[in-house]
A = this chain, B = another copy of it.
Amino acid sequence: MITKQTDTLFKHFEDYIKLSDALKTALTERLVFKTFKKGELVHDANKVCTKSYFIQKGLMRVYFLKDGKEISEYFPAEGEWSNSPRSFRTRQVDIYYIDAIEQVDAFCLGVTDLMYLFENFPEMERYARLSMGTVFGHFMERITSMRFTTAKEKYDHFISTYHDIYHRIPLGMIASYLGITQETLSRIRAEK
């Protein structure tokens, strides 16, 4: 019998809470291993997001459409959860699509299963609260950085927060994430 490679995931949980064997089992039973090909759609904005993916390997992109153009919202990577946050939370459709920038290995957890875990393992509530706090902090920092006036400053901040993965993301996607044109970003990269 093949054991699921849940090490990374458990390690992630243990950054926030102590994992009991019972919770480990309950999690393992509910996680479904899933892979996505490069470019494959992970979540469609026209549907309610009922699944959250914990990325083991690879890189995704959360984006939305504005005037027909794809605007990157953020890039979930190894060791992070990926979903359409509000849709997953409120069970309503939202504007975000998710696709795979690279081939992805992930564990899938459905809302219903997650709810079961919240009901039966109070420490899951704590995990969610604490891990959400971390993400919240990143978002705040990002808002702060988006007000840095020049495009160069925005790009520099992007590089520093995404230093491990920025070279794996196409230029055009980074430009829309920063709210600048790809021409401008290309010029910023050229000088220096």
Question: Residues of A with Cβ closer than 8 Å to B?
Answer: 64, 71, 73, 85-86, 89, 95, 118, 122, 125-126, 128-129, 132-133, 135-137, 139-140, 142-144, 146-147, 149, 176, 179
- Bound CA span A136–B140, Å: 10
Q: Assembly of this chain: how many copies?
A: 2
B144, A142: Cβ atoms closer than 8 Å: no
B132, A136: Cβ atoms closer than 8 Å: yes
Instruction: Report B-chain residues with C-beta under 8 Å of the C-beta of A126.
Output: 118, 125
Instruction: Report B-chain residues with C-beta under 8 Å of the C-beta of A140.
Output: 73, 85-86, 139
The 8 closest A-B pairs by CB, nearest first: A147-B179, A125-B125, A122-B122, A129-B129, A128-B129, A146-B146, A86-B137, A139-B139
- Bound CA span A159–B122, Å: 39
Residue of B nearest to A95 (CB): B144
- Bound CA span A132–B142, Å: 17
- Bound CA span A142–B136, Å: 13
